[in-house]
């Protein structure tokens, strides 16, 4: 997903002076708890087609389903698709996405 960012963006984020921005972006990709795909899809379905989650960064991400795919919409209105769900990790579950979601 980070490879899709404009040229120079990742290099800029890796500079020491950008540490707080990078931390904000990375923690915006993390939510507390264990959200497996089936539970997320159920939450979207039972909440009128949209499920909001609060990120560790403090922002929100809207989750919806479009053509059978789980979609994330960030606070800027950008969308990302879950391309691989339920990857087990020692501290939770990872869902790979195809684009970087960004906080305000």
Query: Mind listing the pLDDT tens digit for each residue in 6-23?
Result: 899 899 999 999 999 999
What is the per-residue pLDDT for 32? 94
Distance CA 1, CA 23 (A): 16
pLDDT at position 3 is 84
The pLDDT value recorded for residue 68 is 94
Q: The pTM is what?
A: 0.89
* All domains in the chain, ordered by first residue: 2-97 (2.30.180.10)
Of 46, 102, 53, 52, whose CA–CA distance to 79 is shortest?
102
Q: Which long-range contacts (CB under 8 A, 24 or more apart) does 43-48 make?
A: 44/70
Low-confidence ranges of the chain (pLDDT < 50): none
pLDDT of residue 103: 95
**Looking up tokens 């960012």, which residue turns up?**
5
């Amino acid at each position: 997903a980070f490879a899709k960012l404009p040229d120079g963006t990742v290099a800029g984020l890796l500079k020491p002076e950008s540490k707080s921005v990078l931390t904000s972006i990375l923690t915006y990709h993390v939510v507390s708890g264990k959200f497996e795909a089936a539970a997320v899809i159920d939450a979207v379905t039972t909440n009128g087609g949209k499920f909001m989650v609060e990120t560790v960064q403090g922002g929100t991400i809207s989750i919806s389903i479009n053509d059978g795919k789980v979609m994330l919409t960030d606070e800027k209105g950008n969308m990302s698709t879950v391309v691989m769900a339920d990857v087990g990790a020692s501290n939770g579950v990872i869902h790979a996405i195809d684009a970087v979601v960004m906080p305000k």
